[in-house]
Structure 1
Amino acid sequence: MELIAEISDIDIGLMRSNLPDQVHIRKAARAIILNESNQIALLYVSENNYHKLPGGGVETNETWSEALLREVKEEVGAKIEMISNLGFIIEHRGQHRLIQQSYCFLARAVEISHTPTFTKEEQANGFQLKWMDYEQAVSLIKHDKPKDYVGRFIQKRDFLFLQEVKMYCKDM
């Protein structure tokens, strides 16, 4: 899988901060998911005013694809079929002493069986599932005004992922 970008504090408008010697590394899988109308699934995080792609952390003894299938079932209520690997982005979150490796896939929802089952934290953050066309998804993420540090990273990361799939979505 190809590296798309590395993002650090300076890339989200903050002063450069060096990561300390001891950092936590988090691996995550996420997807640009298309439904039968070629709309993209986005999650709106109302508490912090930004949109994000479905996905999340890879748990111990879990593969990338297992993590993604689990997260999509929880956050979108869907089963998916992978179309392609888009690449990965490394985030250097200095304030959280965290390096996050996010792998992104393009997928198609083959079965949307139920409503999302958000965690208590996701519910507290006001997660809402939305389906929209590619241009609307790009515009929303581009113009979001995240209220928190993590949201600024997510906005930058997911905008870059959407740019990677632009050619595929162009014909929709």
Structure 2
Amino acid sequence: MDLIKEIYEKDIGYNYESINISYKIRKASRSIVVNDSQKIALLFVSKNNYHKLPGGGIEAGEDIKTALNREVMEEAGVNIDVLGEIGTIIEYRDKHELLQISYCYYSEVKGDIKKPSFTEVERNSGFQLKWVTLDEAISILEDDAPDNYLGRFIQSRDLMFLKSAKCLLNSSNI
């Protein structure tokens, strides 16, 4: 899978003073999920004023696509057929000594859309699922104003995934 970008704190307006960081590595999978109306799943995190793509961490014993299917079912309430790869983004979250590798795919809804089953943390963060066009999603993320460190990384990462997907779709590579 192609590397799209490496995101550093300076890219999101932070400059955490750290030397010789020993990063904990977290791998995650996420997807741009398209329904029959050609709209994509987008999650609004109301507590911190940003949007994100469905997806999350790969748990012990899972492969990337198993985690992807689990996360998309939990957060968007759908099973998916993966149609292609978007790419990989690496985030250097120095403040938390975390290096996150996110693998992003493009997929379509398979079967019925059900109600998401958000975790308690996601419910407390005010997660809300919406379906919007790809162009609307890009515009929404460009206008977001996350009020926390994590939200700014997510905004930057997912905006890059959406713009990369648009380029891939326009060139018909997926």
* TM-score, with length taken from structure 1: 0.95
SS at 1:37 equivalent: coil
Residue number in structure 2 paired with 1:82 = 82
Q: Which runs of 5 or more structure 2 residues have no equivalent in the other structure?
A: none
TM-fit CA distance, 1:114: 1.4
Residue number in structure 2 paired with 1:13 = 13
1:151-170 matched pairs, under 5 angstroms: 151-169=151-169
TM-fit CA distance, 1:157: 0.2
Distance 1:136 1:53 in 2: 13
Distance 1:25 1:17 in 2: 20
Distance 1:142 1:45 in 2: 15
Using a 3 Å threshold, how does the CA distance of structure 1 residues 110 and 13 change in structure 2: closer, same or farther? same
Number of corresponding residues: 171
Distance 1:130 1:170 in 2: 24
Q: Flag as ranges the 4+ runs of structure 1 deviating above 6 A.
A: none
Distance 1:84 1:170 in 2: 14
SS at 1:131 equivalent: strand
SS at 2:111 equivalent: strand
Residue number in structure 2 paired with 1:94 = 94
Instruction: Please give the root-mean-square deviation of Cα atoms over the aligned residues, in Å.
Output: 1.5
Distance 1:155 1:85 in 2: 20
SS at 2:146 equivalent: coil
* TM-score, with length taken from structure 2: 0.94
Using a 3 Å threshold, how does the CA distance of structure 1 residues 17 and 158 change in structure 2: closer, same or farther? farther
TM-fit CA distance, 1:19: 6.0
Using a 3 Å threshold, how does the CA distance of structure 1 residues 35 and 113 change in structure 2: closer, same or farther? closer
